[in-house]
Every structure is written in structure tokens, then in C-alpha cells.
Amino acid sequence: MAAHDLFPSTEAYETGMLPVDNLHTIYWEQSGNPEGRPVLFVHGGPGAGASPDHRRFFDPAAYRIVIFDQRGAGRSTPLGETKANTTQHLIADMELLRVRLGIERWHLFGGSWGSTLALAYAQAHPERTSALLLRGIFLCRQSEVDWFLYGMRTYFPEVWARFSGFIPEAERDDLLRAYYSRLMDPDPAVHMPAARSWSTYEGACSTLMPSPETVAAFGEDSMALGLARIEAHYFVNKIFLPEGALLERTATIRDLPGAIVQGRYDTVCPPATAYDLHRAWPAASFRIIPDAGHSAMEPGIRRALVEATERFKNHA
């Protein structure tokens, strides 16, 4: 494998649907080496879901690769469901899955919201976490949510104009509430256009260079609904954690090894947040990728993430 490539595509050797309560059932899969180093891929969003390409960050000969779709996302059911869907529920689901698969400790790999949830899990269960490999750090402080809703127009004014223009002018002083009310409407004629507008806004701002393929993927109905509705739900509820809690609780993971990979021109999750985490968690390496934005699939980010998984594949 060339140093800059993802690993070749591989098939899952086991898949399943795990009921986590009377409402939600989550999709999970395993690929790679059943005897390898366990690693859990924690997808972004919240609500974006995982894909087969996400297996390719890991050497399938060395890793036991576990992927799951969080409540309401991807192949989990019901899609876009926000009831009984909190950060605490997701952490409990990860623990339930770990026990179901008979894993003692695992690496956590996550970007964007995946970094948020991985941090929250590791802080709740440091004894079950062997390492954290994180990208595009998002701590969901109010300043970061405000940046997502309003600040990104600094770099993407025409994209933000479409995003804000979807909402009547009288409601634009609170875009989150305006979108949330439409996204939660039971009528698909109301919630689907709002979901596509929200999701394609994020997709268009996620890469350093324009990527019509990324925007198209974010605009697909299942992706758009899961991402937009659940993201707005978590933002409205401040991810069900006190303001700044993830940064304040880094003492619980100070000695855990890890890697932080951050695009210099990440507009969705600007580098200042990653730097704040780096200062609070000195045990983790910190790497700024000079020619990258937010997406994990940009060449520099992709290369750095694979290098990180290679570095940690023999770490107990």
C-alpha cells in the first residue's frame, strides 16, 4: 500500500441489528481481522451515518474494525428519530455494542461530531478506551454552533445566502429554531426541503476545493434527513452536556494516547477548537494539515489519518 492511499476495499465478515430500547435498533458490522486490534469508527453529523469506505482507514490484517450507525442515522431505525436520542444514549449504545462483541478495550476513531462523541465516551469510560484518533475537532460549544450557523458565510457567502435564504427573512435572526421547526414537521413536503438545504450547506463547506460529488451525497434524502434533523436536535439541546464540558473533563483522559488531525482551512470546525483540545490533552499528537479543509476524504487528511492508524495498530 502506498503511504498516501486508503487500504483496499474489504467486506464485512459480520453484520447485525442491535435493539437498544423499544424504539431504536442500531446497525453494526465487523470487518478486518477478528483477532486484530479492536477499533470503533464513530461517524459524524450527528446523523450522517457510516459507509463501507470508512473501513479503509484501517489495515484489515491488523485491526478488528467495528462500525455502527448511531440512533436515527444511516441503516439504524427509525431514520431521523430524535426521541430517546441524546449523547448519553449514544454512549450507552457504544457500551452495549462493546459488551455484545466481547471487546475489553478498543481504539476510538472519529471526526467532526465523531470526535465529540468519541471524547464523551472516553471521558465516561476511560478504562474501556485504549487510544483516541480524532479529526476535525468539534466540542459543540455555543461559539462553534454559532460559527456553523452564521460564521461560515465569511468564507462561503454565496452558500450561506442559499442556506439562510431558505428561511423567510423575519425568522433569520434564529436560523437554528427556524430550521428545527421545519425539520421536525411530520410532513415530508416540509421537512425534506429543509433537510436538503441544511445538509447541502454543510457539504458545500466541507472541502477545500469544490466537490460536486460531496454536495450531491449530502443532498441524498436519507443522508439529508438523518444529518439535518438530528444535527439540529443536538444543537438545540446543546448536545445534552453543560457548556464546555468536554474540554473541562479532559483530566479523565489526560494519560490516554491519541492523535489529533486538523485541516488548516477547515471551515466547518475551525482549527482553534483542535488547538484548545491539544493544549488540554498533551498526551495526544497534534497535526495541522496545511492543504485541507474539513472532509476526512481530502488527500492530506486521509494520508494523516492512515498514518495515525498505522502508528497505533500495535498499541495495546
Picking from 42, 228, 246, 232, the residue whose alpha carbon sits closest to that of residue 140 is: 246
- Which position has the grid cell 470526535? 115
Distance, in Å, from the CA atom of 85 to the CA atom of 55, rounded to the nearest integer, reads 25
Catalytic residue among 107, 233, 266, 295: 266
Phi-psi region of 104 (alpha: psi -120 to 50; beta: other; left: phi over 0): alpha
Which residue in the list 43, 107, 233, 294 is annotated as catalytic?
294
What distance in Å separates the CA atoms of residue 90 and residue 122, rounded to the nearest whole number?
12
Task: Render 115-169 in DSSP notation, one character per residue.
Answer: HHHHHHHHHH-GGGEEEEEEEEE----HHHHHHHHTGGGGT-HHHHHHHHHTS-G
| Beta bridge pairs of residue 41 | 67, 109
Helix, strand, or coil (residue 298): coil
Q: Is 115 a catalytic residue?
A: no
Strand partners, 19: 25
164 counts as catalytic: no
Question: Rounded distance, CA 17 to CA 26, Å?
Answer: 5
Is 187 known to be catalytic?
no
* Residue of 123, 116, 109 lying closest to 32 (CA atoms): 109
> How far apart are alpha carbons 213 and 190 in whole angstroms?
25
Residues 6 or more apart in contact with residue 146 via CB below 8 angstroms: none
Is 144:273 a contact under the CB 8 Å cutoff?
Answer: yes
Whether omega for the bond prior to residue 282 falls within 30 degrees of 0, making it cis, is no
Q: Are 198 and 227 in contact (CB under 8 A)?
A: yes
Residue of 31, 76, 112, 206 marked active site: 112
Instruction: Give the residue numbers marked as catalytic.
Output: 112, 266, 294
